[in-house]
Structure 1
Amino acid sequence: MTMPPPLLTATFLLLFLLTTITTTTTSQESDPELDCTNKWIHIRRLPLQFNLDLLLNCSQYPLFDNFCNYLTNDGLGQKTHNNSHSWYRTDPFMLELIFHRRMLEYPCLTSDPNLANAIYIPYFAGIDSLKYLYGPQVNSSFLHGLDLYHYLVRMDTPSMWQKHFGHDHFLVIARSAWDFIQPLSNDPPIFGTSFLELPEFYNVTALTFEARAYPWQERAIPYPTSFHPPNLAFLESWVNRVRKSRRNALMLFAAGGGISANPNIRRSIRLECENSTSISANGTGYDKLCEFVDCSNGVCEHDPIRFMKPMLQASFCLQPPGDTPTRRSTFDGIIAGCIPVFFEELTAKKQYGWHLPEEKYEEFSVFVPKEDVVFKGLRILDVLMSIPRSEVRRMRENVIELIPRIMYRNHGSSLGLRSKKDAFDIAVEGTLQRIKSRIEELAAQ
């Protein structure tokens, strides 16, 4: 296959990064002052069929997308413009690459799995799923992950798996868990694969965009936004812009959908937003009550300029569920300092406990039950206008404080920026603690 030059460059770079796994030394050898107690991670060395080789088919899934351009900059995608230092056309499905690139910079790596507190599997599970979701193997989706399992258990140091039977292993899946729970018995198959239904992987911690409420092995981590600052100065500059931005719209709805005749929350929001033009904003302190950014047909996915400027100018960003409860827009809005308005708890409150502590939600967000809006006539505008302006300012400041926690900073970032924990750091910390607790629990049985 002939690859475009940007992909060829990115592929060679990623190949170099992947091969460094074989020569990774214990981090403490190079930094004796580093405290890695209970933080050691070993990266399993997988055949390239499980990661790099999957990128070579980036143009082969027309029903999904040609994702070749999204591979540049180690998964961050192309810059929004040539002089950009922090903004990229990031595709969230590339999180597996982004996370892997950051894992190679993790300060407490060890080449000895016996010293490790956790073991990272550098498998691009979401990208590998495309051949089952959109490709020629759509009727064989029950096979997804079996070859990986056989390699981990039988071919590559079986004792590494047998030590805790996978309880100390973790991986990243850049899709919703719902795409990987097709029952093994389904005939004919429905959309999705059976990766998370395989008993072989029940013990492995899976970091996903959206987790189910009940299985032990899944944990939700933030969708990547387009903001990836390389140093503290660029982060602080953005935060200052967010803080000083004039909020001339009360609320913003940036999304597609809402055109169905059947009652649903997106339809209710869209109708209320359209009707708000006939309501006077005089005396509210806003120029307009509702701003609508139409993101139908994916026009906003790789063009953050379309929605970030309106988000910067709105006090509240409406985050209704879509095909599934969670939305990347939740994190785009936080990056813009726009207070999220949730309509069901599975959108965020019951998902991102590591990054957005559940007990803090009332301090940075508003909750409006979707049933009250759709079936009881509750107006979202009335709820939001009833919040005192002083309270709005306080909530916005709390949102701004969350920005470092939910962004994925650029790889190779400055020492100053690395002093602030980002989404990757918090995900790794949470995973280590989760694995530690699980192994202690098993040892006590």
Structure 2
Amino acid sequence: MCKYLENSGFGPLIGSYYYPSWYATNQFMLEVIFHEKMKRYKCLTRNSLLASAVYVPYYAGLDFRRKLRRRNVAARDAAGKELVKWLKKQPQWKGMSGRDHFLVTGRISRDFRRNSDNNSGWGTNLMLLPESQNLSFLTIERNPTSHNEFAIPYPTYFHPTSAIEISQWQDKIKLTNRTVLFSFAGAQRPRRNQNGLVRTKVMNQCKSSSKTCRFLDCDVKANGCDDPISLMKLFEDSVFCLQPPGDSLTRRSVFDSILAGCIPVFFNQGSAYKQYVWHIPENNSEYSVYIPVKELRAGGDNKIEEILRGISNERVVGMRENVIKLVPKIVYTKPNQNEPGGEVLEDAFDIAVKRVIERIDGLKRRKLNGE
């Protein structure tokens, strides 16, 4: 993972891909990126009594990765337990018992919700610790039943330096000639669960519609998705980008496709609609297509193509315009790069910080009112 820590967590530069703001960013680098941006955040205060919220710069995802293969759950849980033990001793904790604290995890919620001490169990128990119930967690995929988790976008490859750079990119993808009706970038998943079955169905339909669908194989042996440029080129050429669940309900690919101006096609409400409520519109049909699993199963081998072909050109143009409007909200810009006197960027980071502060303000008000 070391090479991905370069450039404030953005990873190595991808040469001069359109603009000099493209990086080979790893999808699990969010906590590093967020920390680097937070260190330069314009509203920091050294006086914790004046703070609206307290950010905890703990790299839970990298710690998880480091201890992923350890059989001993005590070793996997040690750093998280040490963290909350330390936090409880700090004077900042006492006023709200940690309810005004938040931290960012660069992996999905499931990786931190192991509810047994069985050594064969997956992940750590960080989010299930008693103290953690008071924290606000910002994560790339939330547990839909959790009261204190909030999903924010996966990092993409584009980290612009200015509003002008974003506008230039938006103008480019508006004019892109899209020669492929729909595409899918991904690899096979085990068929033992619902997600694996859906993905298999999607892959098979893409392959059977070879004249209208392009498939990029992300299998480890094929390594088709290791090259960001190949991936982005595919999405830029496509009108629609298929986004079936994979190892979990969400995918980084959702945000790569939005960045490319490609309309995402979802097969589960939990892949985006019930996740990124701070960053994407409530009216899902404005920017995406939803095909329920039962409709996918009931249809023939070309059901996806049939549905997508049935969407009017006028509606496609409108959806694409709305997708392109989302670009500023789903990218993480370079830290402290707003142009003096120019238009101030509000990126995915700014939206997340604003919303978590609003949440904590609400908790403080309820406490004052004795609720």
User: Would you call these one fold, judging by a TM-score over 0.5?
Assistant: yes
Alignment of 1:123-202 (within 5 A): 123-135=58-70, 138=73, 140-154=75-89, 158-183=90-115, 185-202=116-133
Is 1:226–2:160 an aligned residue pair? no
**2:205 aligned to which of 267, 272, 287:** 272
Aligned to 2:263: 339
3-state secondary structure, aligned to 2:325: helix
CA gap of 1:239–1:402, structure 2 versus 1, over 3 A, is same
Distance in 2, matches of 1:226 and 1:140, equals: 33
Distance in 1, matches of 2:192 and 2:365, equals: 53
Alignment of 1:426-445 (within 5 A): 426-444=351-369, 445=371
Alignment of 1:213-292 (within 5 A): 213-257=144-188, 264-277=197-210, 288-292=211-215
Distance in 2, matches of 1:417 and 1:72, equals: 27
Of all paired residues, the percent bearing the same amino acid is 40
CA gap of 1:143–1:404, structure 2 versus 1, over 3 A, is same
3-state secondary structure, aligned to 1:165: coil
3-state secondary structure, aligned to 2:134: coil
Check whether the contact 1:335–1:403 (CA below 8 A) recurs between aligned residues. yes
CA gap of 1:301–1:110, structure 2 versus 1, over 3 A, is farther
CA gap of 1:123–1:403, structure 2 versus 1, over 3 A, is same
Q: CA-to-partner distance for each residue in 1:380-401, whole Å, 9 max, x for gaps?
A: 1111111100110010000000
3-state secondary structure, aligned to 1:315: strand
Q: CA-to-partner distance for each residue in 1:92-145, whole Å, 9 max, x for gaps?
A: 211111101111121111000000010001111111222332347555334341
3-state secondary structure, aligned to 1:318: strand
Distance in 1, matches of 2:16 and 2:238, equals: 28
Q: CA-to-partner distance for each residue in 1:284-330, whole Å, 9 max, x for gaps?
A: xxxx4111111112835552112100110110000000110000000
Check whether the contact 2:255–2:330 (CA below 8 A) recurs between aligned residues. yes
3-state secondary structure, aligned to 1:97: helix
Structure 2 portions without partners, runs of 5+: none
CA gap of 1:316–1:82, structure 2 versus 1, over 3 A, is closer
AA paired with 1:73? N
Is 1:103–2:35 an aligned residue pair? no
Distance in 1, matches of 2:342 and 2:224, equals: 28
AA paired with 1:275? S
**2:10 aligned to which of 76, 80, 92:** 76
Alignment of 1:372-387 (within 5 A): 372-377=295-300, 379-387=303-311
Structure 1 portions without partners, runs of 5+: 1-66, 278-287
Check whether the contact 1:252–1:314 (CA below 8 A) recurs between aligned residues. yes
Check whether the contact 2:114–2:124 (CA below 8 A) recurs between aligned residues. yes
Distance in 1, matches of 2:79 and 2:338, equals: 38
Distance in 2, matches of 1:302 and 1:100, equals: 25
**2:316 aligned to which of 392, 405, 409:** 392
Q: CA-to-partner distance for each residue in 1:306-356, whole Å, 9 max, x for gaps?
A: 210011011000000011000000000000000000000100000000001
Check whether the contact 2:162–2:345 (CA below 8 A) recurs between aligned residues. no
CA gap of 1:418–1:218, structure 2 versus 1, over 3 A, is farther
Alignment of 1:81-92 (within 5 A): 81=15, 85-92=20-27
AA paired with 1:295? C
Higher normalized contact order (CA 8 Å, seq sep 6+, divided by chain length): 2
Quick check: 186-195 or 292-301, which moved more? 292-301
Is 1:364–2:287 an aligned residue pair? yes
Q: What count of residue pairs does the alignment treat as equivalent? A: 364
CA gap of 1:227–1:145, structure 2 versus 1, over 3 A, is same
Distance in 2, matches of 1:74 and 1:195, equals: 25
